[in-house]
């Protein structure tokens, strides 16, 4: 027999195992002889149930076998294929004296390590996850949460406990420590988080405007991000078969609309599918607030100060921040802890809630991937007086093609917050900058996807698809300064489909920004197949007003094509953003060659700007382009004297070159742009590698 492969669930999966597809060995010669090897796929969903069985006195019942259980899904009997008993011994460990010096410890794990197919990795162990929502907690609350975690690890942990540490901060869900019982390692992870607490300050970027730069089709509120981050964490934990308890430290969670309710339901469904029980802890502890707020808030004023309206409103607002935490606990089978300054009580509560239990697994006979609720009933053939505690149902998996608009938006939200990027699609990106005035710079952002990446959608029979883009730009303080949310509609029929295999899908947009260091993260998704690609990069916009020892110049753009703005196959930039774009001239747009690969049969266009705001009067500039190959000059353009200036306060001088690349033999080159000011005795140089192909 041969196996065609094994599929394991990823972060977007339903939390179910996928079975092998096995073929008789007799088919092998015929398969090898065929030009296109046939592929056979068979998918089975392994549903995992955790069942706690107690007698009439509440004592755990041990010694049961798989044949003692009866299990049905939507009334249809199911055959138990996986059976395991987890026996947890609550043997306390001796108190551990915390080291007096904070140590960095090992580097944090990138993710929760998944088990091998069919493996129960943590047999007879209790899995506890300490999850810190840093975006909601102030400094005092954060330290209180860390102190409670240290107290639990040093004095309250048992021999059966394995602890993992996760945090949501700076827009990402981070795994600081995978499951371990090494208390020194856990303390080192927490101490590391304390030591870098300045980087874990409240993320003010969560209060920025919605994605889309004013478009109403997408908005990401702060509570949406908190819930989406939890959903991402649940998906990571769903790879493990065992029951998981997540102790969620947060300073409240307030829902503010219908969209939040939808995300709340999606988060709860993810917890159910992943066999996760949530134990929220209000890190604010026991709060005693002034009736009308403390000195950090301005006076409300008005008659409400005297009739109690303001005080009632503040008390109700505080209560609503705890209501969502209570709902998360109740709907996942956990319990919330409020108004306690000793937060370690919540961890102990989660610890004691998990006792001996049975793991039952079955391959469901319901193959539909419709995302509907499936009711589960479990009973014992004997012991009618026994009490069974288990999950009474789950939402079935859903194919991407069955996703509704809200599902697809949530998928992009989750992917954006993943620290481990998804790279199913190939993306290239280029960020340039041009000075507009003494303070601001125009930053065009160009993304390119090979048209061949959409071949799967074309093979699936789709005549058109859409590529969704989502992303954000953050400054050096991790504050979101710009958002990206857009789409490109792609025709995949007739002549357009033939061109896709040879051309690229290009998206561009632009922003007005200040000098500084930035990071950009952009995701692109084929809306037909659901495949996602990610591009991460850092860039710096220099303050050219401070440049005095050389000629201030912009970034340099290399291009092999200039196209009409209406050419949708190549660009999807919005018209309102093209006004300030210096790459748009006379109704044509210069398309940056993101990959810097040029065909020998075409032309190469080079564009940059020089600024002479300090020159009085400004003098002409001389510029030329040199191509080096292996350290040897291969070609150089004649010097070009530039006297034309734009009518602005910067006295901007545009420099345009057109190089016939047939003078370059195929191979790798380094292009150098040289700009000279003979009168001021200044110069500027720029270099970049490129490739010339036949």
Residue 163, pLDDT score: 92
Residue 616, pLDDT score: 62
The lowest-confidence range among 36-45, 141-150, 585-594 is 36-45
pLDDT band at 129 (very low <50, low <70, confident <90, very high): very high
More confident residue, 306 or 152: 152
CB 130 within 8 A of CB 249: yes
Distance in angstroms between the alpha carbons of the first and the last residue of the chain: 47
Residue 418, pLDDT score: 67
Compute the distance between CA of residue 596 and CA of residue 668 in angstroms, rounded to an integer: 10
Residue 26, pLDDT score: 42
More confident residue, 494 or 40: 494
Most confident among 29-33, 178-182, 561-565, 643-647 (mean pLDDT)? 178-182
The lowest-confidence range among 341-350, 408-417, 435-444 is 408-417
Q: In what order do the strands lie in the sheet with 480-491?
A: 480-491, 464-475, 516-526, 532-541
More confident residue, 263 or 572: 263
Residue 136, pLDDT score: 77
Lookup: tokens for 686 = 């720029």
pLDDT band at 77 (very low <50, low <70, confident <90, very high): very high
DSSP string of 562-577, one letter each residue = EEETT-TTT----GGG
What Cα–Cα distance (Å) separates residue 105 from each residue in 71, 130, 190, 279, 398?
46, 18, 10, 27, 41
Query: Which of 446, 428, 418, 442 lies closest to 595 in space, CA to CA?
Result: 428
Q: What's the chain's average pLDDT?
A: 75
Residue 128, pLDDT score: 92
pLDDT band at 268 (very low <50, low <70, confident <90, very high): confident
Residue 254, pLDDT score: 65
Compute the distance between CA of residue 652 and CA of residue 646 in angstroms, rounded to an integer: 5
Residue 20, pLDDT score: 35
Average pLDDT over residues 379-399: 81
CB 486 within 8 A of CB 554: no
More confident residue, 71 or 216: 71
Compute the distance between CA of residue 118 and CA of residue 83 in angstroms, rounded to an integer: 11
| E-state strands within 230-283 | 244-250, 276-282
Residue 72, pLDDT score: 93
Question: By percentage, how much of the chain surpasses pLDDT 90?
Answer: 7
> Is the pLDDT assigned to residue 60 strictly greater than 90?
no
> Is the pLDDT assigned to residue 482 strictly greater than 80?
yes
- For residue 563, count CB atoms less than 10 angstroms from its CB and return exposed for 0-12, middle for 13-18, buried for 19 or more: middle
What Cα–Cα distance (Å) separates residue 572 from each residue in 472, 566, 569, 588?
18, 9, 8, 14
Query: Which of 161, 156, 149, 155 lies closest to 188 in space, CA to CA?
Result: 149
Between the CA atoms of 196, 202, 206 and 209, what dihedral angle is there, to the nearest 10 degrees? -120
Average pLDDT over residues 481-491: 81
Question: By percentage, how much of the chain surpasses pLDDT 70?
Answer: 72
pLDDT tens string 587-638: 777 888 887 888 888 888 899 988 876 656 667 889 999 998 887 888 889 9
Helix (H) / strand (E) containing 130: strand 126-133
Residue 499: CB atoms within 10 Å: 12
pLDDT band at 29 (very low <50, low <70, confident <90, very high): very low
> Is the pLDDT assigned to residue 567 strictly greater than 80?
no
Residue 304, pLDDT score: 60
Most confident among 82-96, 374-388, 496-510, 600-614 (mean pLDDT)? 374-388
Positive/negative CA dihedral, 562, 563, 569, 575: positive
DSSP string of 392-405, one letter each residue = -EEEPPB-GGG--H
Residue 207, pLDDT score: 34
Residue 580, pLDDT score: 67
Q: Which residues contact 130 (CB under 8 A, 6 or more apart)?
A: 149, 163, 164, 165, 166, 247, 249, 347
> Is the pLDDT assigned to residue 655 strictly greater than 80?
yes
> Is the pLDDT assigned to residue 385 strictly greater than 70?
yes
Q: What phi-psi label fits residue 270: left (phi over 0), alpha (psi between -120 and 50 degrees) or beta? A: alpha
Q: Which residues pair with 131 in a beta bridge?
A: 166, 248
The lowest-confidence range among 163-167, 200-204, 525-529 is 200-204
Residue 374, pLDDT score: 86
pLDDT band at 33 (very low <50, low <70, confident <90, very high): very low
CB 659 within 8 A of CB 603: yes
CB 577 within 8 A of CB 638: no
More confident residue, 451 or 314: 451
Place of tokens 């107290």: 151
Q: Is the pTM of this model over 0.85?
A: no
pLDDT band at 458 (very low <50, low <70, confident <90, very high): low
> Is the pLDDT assigned to residue 568 strictly greater than 50?
no
Place of tokens 């710096």: 540
The β-bridge relationship of strands 597-599 and 682-693 is parallel
Residue 55, pLDDT score: 87
Compute the distance between CA of residue 451 and CA of residue 326 in angstroms, rounded to an integer: 48
What Cα–Cα distance (Å) separates residue 453 from each residue in 38, 420, 426, 523?
21, 21, 7, 14
Residue 501, pLDDT score: 59
CB 633 within 8 A of CB 624: no
Average pLDDT over residues 61-85: 90
Residue 322, pLDDT score: 75
DSSP 503: S
Query: % helix / strand / coil in the chain, to the nearest 5?
Result: 25, 35, 40
């Amino acid at each position: 027999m041969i196996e065609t492969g094994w599929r394991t669930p990823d972060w977007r999966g339903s939390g179910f195992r996928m079975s092998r597809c096995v073929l008789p060995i007799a088919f092998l010669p015929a398969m090898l002889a065929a030009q296109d090897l046939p592929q056979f796929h068979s998918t089975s969903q392994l549903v995992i149930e955790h069942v706690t069985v107690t007698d009439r006195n509440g004592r755990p019942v041990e010694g049961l076998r798989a044949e003692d259980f009866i299990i049905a899904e939507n009334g249809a009997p199911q055959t138990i294929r996986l059976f395991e008993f987890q026996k947890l011994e609550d043997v306390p460990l001796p108190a551990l004296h915390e080291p007096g010096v904070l140590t960095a410890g090992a580097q944090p794990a990138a993710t929760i390590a998944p088990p091998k197919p069919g493996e129960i990795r943590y047999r007879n162990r209790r899995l506890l996850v300490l999850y810190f929502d840093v975006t909601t907690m102030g400094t005092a609350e954060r330290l209180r949460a860390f102190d409670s975690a240290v107290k639990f690890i040093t004095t309250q942990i048992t021999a059966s406990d394995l602890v993992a540490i996760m945090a949501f901060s700076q827009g990402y869900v981070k795994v600081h420590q995978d499951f371990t019982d090494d208390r020194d390692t856990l303390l080192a992870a927490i101490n590391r988080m304390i030591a870098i607490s300045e980087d874990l300050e409240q993320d003010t970027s969560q209060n920025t405007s919605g994605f889309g730069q004013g478009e109403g089709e997408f908005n990401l509120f702060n509570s949406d991000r908190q819930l989406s981050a939890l959903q991402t964490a649940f998906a990571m934990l769903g790879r493990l078969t065992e029951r998981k308890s997540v102790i969620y430290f947060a300073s409240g969670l307030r829902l503010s609309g219908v969209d939040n309710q939808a995300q709340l339901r999606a988060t709860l469904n993810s917890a159910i599918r992943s066999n996760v029980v949530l134990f929220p802890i209000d890190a604010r502890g026991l709060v005693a607030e002034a009736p009308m707020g403390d000195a950090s808030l301005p006076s409300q004023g008005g008659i409400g100060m005297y009739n109690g309206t303001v005080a009632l409103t503040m008390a109700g607002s505080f209560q609503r921040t705890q209501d969502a935490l209570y709902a998360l606990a109740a709907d996942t089978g956990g319990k919330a802890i409020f108004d306690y300054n000793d937060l370690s009580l919540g961890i102990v509560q989660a610890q004691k809630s998990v006792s001996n239990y049975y793991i039952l697994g079955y391959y469901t006979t319901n193959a539909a991937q419709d995302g509907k609720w499936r009711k589960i009933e479990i009973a014992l053939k004997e012991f009618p007086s026994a009490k069974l505690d288990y999950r009474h149902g789950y939402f079935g998996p859903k194919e991407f093609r069955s996703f509704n608009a809200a599902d697809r938006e949530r998928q992009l939200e989750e992917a954006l917050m993943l620290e481990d990027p998804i790279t199913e699609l190939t993306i290239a990106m280029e960020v340039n900058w041009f000075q507009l005035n003494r303070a601001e710079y125009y930053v065009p952002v160009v993304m390119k996807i090979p048209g061949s990446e959409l071949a799967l959608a074309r093979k699936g029979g789709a005549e058109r698809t859409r590529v969704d883009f989502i992303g954000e730009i953050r400054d050096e303080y991790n504050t979101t300064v710009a958002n990206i949310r857009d789409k490109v509609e792609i025709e995949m029929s007739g002549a357009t489909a033939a061109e896709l295999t040879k051309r690229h899908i290009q998206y561009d947009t632009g922003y007005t920004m200040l000098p500084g260091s930035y990071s950009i993260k952009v995701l692109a998704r084929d809306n037909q197949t659901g495949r996602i690609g990610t591009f991460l990069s850092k860039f710096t916009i220099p303050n050219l007003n401070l440049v005095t020892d050389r000629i201030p110049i912009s970034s340099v753009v290399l291009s092999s094509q200039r196209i009409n703005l209406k050419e949708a196959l190549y660009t999807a930039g919005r018209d309102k953003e093209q006004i300030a774009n210096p790459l748009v001239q006379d109704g044509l747009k210069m398309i940056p060659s993101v990959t810097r690969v040029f065909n020998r049969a075409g032309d190469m266009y080079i564009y940059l700007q020089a600024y002479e705001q300090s020159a009085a009067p400004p003098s002409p500039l001389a510029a030329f382009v040199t191509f080096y190959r292996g350290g040897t000059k291969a070609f150089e353009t004649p010097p070009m004297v530039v006297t034309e200036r734009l009518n602005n306060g910067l006295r901007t001088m545009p420099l345009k070159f057109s190089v016939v690349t047939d003078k370059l033999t195929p191979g790798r080159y380094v292009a150098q742009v040289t700009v000279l000011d003979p009168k001021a005795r200044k110069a500027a140089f720029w270099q970049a590698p490129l490739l010339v192909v036949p």
